[in-house]
Amino acid sequence: MLYLNLSNNSFHDGIPAEIGSLVSLQVLLDLSRNLLSGEIPWQLGNLIKLEVFVLSHNNFTGFIPSTMDQMQSLRIVDLSYNELEGPIPKSKAFQEAPPEAFTHNKGLCGNRPSLMNCPPSVNTTKDRKHLILLIVLPVSGASFFLTILIGFVCILRKEWRKSMRNKLIDSQQGNLFTVWSYDGKLVYEDINGATEGFNAKYCIGVGGHGSVYKAKLSTGQIVAVKKLHPLQYTRSDDLKTFESEIQALNKIRHRNIVKLHGFCLHAKQSFLVYEYLERGSLARILDNAEQATELDWSKRINIVKGVVNALCYMHHDCKPPIIHRDISSSNILLDRKYEARVSDFGTARLIKLDSSNWTGLAGTYGYIAPGNMNLTTSLEMQTFPLLFSYF
């Protein structure tokens, strides 16, 4: 086995230590975007041929095992969006990794511009114990566990293919929920429970096409849920269009664009699930005199840069290009470090609008290919400076 990709599933608990016995892994080990937790097994340091190692978007805790110093073949690592702490390994891949590879962790440290310096008293006793176990642990049962793991992976792949064939949305038959990379029914029930049936006390914003709720899932993850007004589409072609466009938006990956986790589509209840940004919208901050004073010029310039980067990505790197059509302070969200995220696009073509709006395309403007409208990327960039004239 040269590579193992189990990303975008709903795996719980920890990584099986037996994966460290897959010493033939060379191209890729990707366990990202799951619900894995616990410490990273020190046995993974045995994968000395591995070139790409991705554990991002999970809930791992503790230290990165020092046994990973011996993974000299590594070229790319990504441990972002976990709860890891302590020093990063000394191998070349870790020492030369970009800052994004370690962001959103509890307290990683090391001699890297994006990390804090490690205190002299960092306790590495746990890693030393791991090294002792590495020497004395018997390996006679490795082949047995390897056989079990391969069988487990084959079963998972079979079930995944089956679920992909059956996930076409049909609201008339009551197939309520499809969320990419998750168990749809499980997440739907989790969100409904976290908001107590979308109780008003969890509402953090109201817009023209729905309300936004803050939901803390059973895993501890906090998300923003935009509950849409009832959709009017009933034809199968319209539902397929909704699904394909949301799927395209779900694949967008950029640090200055709000991440869309998934969606629920039903004639009576529909919502989009986004990442949650702590500080809310730029408009809310600017309207609050006390919070606006904390937004110094360095932060404001950084916000402008973030929005420009997001627009350039949507206009030039996405295929087909995406034109937002509603860049406003209400649609720019900020995280706790005042990093900007462009939000609220992807519903303009999907919601029937009343006659008081622009013909067929007004409202919260969204995911629209340039060939389908008169607006161009050039016009969007020309109108963009008006947003920041209020700074």
Q: Return the structure tokens found at 96.
A: 């030369």
Residue range(s) of every CATH 1.10.510.10 domain in the chain: 280-391
Q: Which CATH class is domain 167-276?
A: alpha beta
227 is in an annotated binding site: yes
Residue range(s) of every CATH 3.30.200.20 domain in the chain: 167-276
| pLDDT at position 201 | 94
- Contact 43/20 with Cβ under 8 angstroms? yes
Q: Which residues contact 248 (CB under 8 A, 6 or more apart)?
A: 367
| pLDDT at position 267 | 58
DSSP string, 267-314: SS-EEEEEE--TTEEHHHHHHSHHHHHT--HHHHHHHHHHHHHHHHII
Query: Helix %, strand %, coil % for the chain, to 5?
Result: 35, 15, 45
Distance separating alpha carbons of residues 357 and 344, to the nearest angstrom: 18
pLDDT by residue for the chain (391 residues), tens only, comes to 778 888 888 888 899 999 999 888 888 899 999 999 999 999 999 999 999 999 999 999 999 998 999 998 899 999 999 999 999 998 888 988 888 889 889 889 988 777 888 887 544 455 555 555 555 556 556 767 777 888 778 787 777 656 554 543 433 333 333 444 445 666 778 888 999 999 999 998 887 667 899 999 887 889 999 887 766 555 555 556 556 557 666 677 889 998 888 777 665 677 888 889 999 989 889 999 888 888 899 999 999 999 999 888 888 887 777 777 777 888 899 999 999 998 876 443 333 333 222 223 233 333 344 444 445 556 566 556 666 665 6
Distance separating alpha carbons of residues 19 and 187, to the nearest angstrom: 28
Selected catalytic residue, list 326, 335, 344, 354: 326
Q: Which CATH class is domain 3-162?
A: alpha beta
Residue range(s) of every CATH 3.80.10.10 domain in the chain: 3-162
State whether the Cα torsion 271-273-277-281 is positive or negative. negative
| pLDDT at position 77 | 93
Question: Which residue from 246, 209, 212 is spatially nearest to 230, judged by alpha carbons?
Answer: 209
- Tell which CATH classification among 2.170.150.70, 3.30.56.10, 2.60.40.1120, 1.10.510.10 matches the domain 280-391: 1.10.510.10
| pLDDT at position 53 | 93
| pLDDT at position 190 | 84
| pLDDT at position 60 | 94
Q: Does the annotation mark 326 as catalytic?
A: yes
| pLDDT at position 252 | 77
